[in-house]
Amino acid sequence: MAVSLNLGFTTSGDKKLSVTYPYANPSALAANVKTLMETMVDNSEIFSEPPVSIVDANFVERNVTPISLA
């Protein structure tokens, strides 16, 4: 089962910005996720429209079932 971490922000232009990290550790502490997000807001030079506030964070689990095409 693959787990991703989705981070939600608002930008300086009042748009929603989402960043997804695939293969996240689902046992990561909320405080560590918040620190990561705060760091992204504080160091937002890589974004064309920088995040200015934190909205939410979610772990997303998904099952991948391969299909045999042989």
Domain count, the chain: 1
Residue 2 has a pLDDT of 87
Output the CA–CA distances (angstroms, integers) from residue 27 to 17, 33, 42, 54, in the order listed: 24, 11, 25, 20
Look at residue 70 and tell me if it is in a domain: no
Residues 9, 34, 42, 12, Cα dihedral to 10° = 20
Look at residue 36 and tell me if it is in a domain: yes
Round to whole Å and give the CA distance between 16 and 50.
10
Range of the domain at 20: 2-62
Residues 55, 35, 49, 53, Cα dihedral to 10° = 40
pLDDT in tens, the chain (70 residues): 789 999 999 998 899 999 999 999 999 999 999 999 999 999 988 888 999 999 999 999 998 888 999 8
Look at residue 25 and tell me if it is in a domain: yes
Look at residue 68 and tell me if it is in a domain: no
Instruction: Give the predicted TM-score (pTM) of the model.
Output: 0.84
Round to whole Å and give the CA distance between 5 and 19.
8
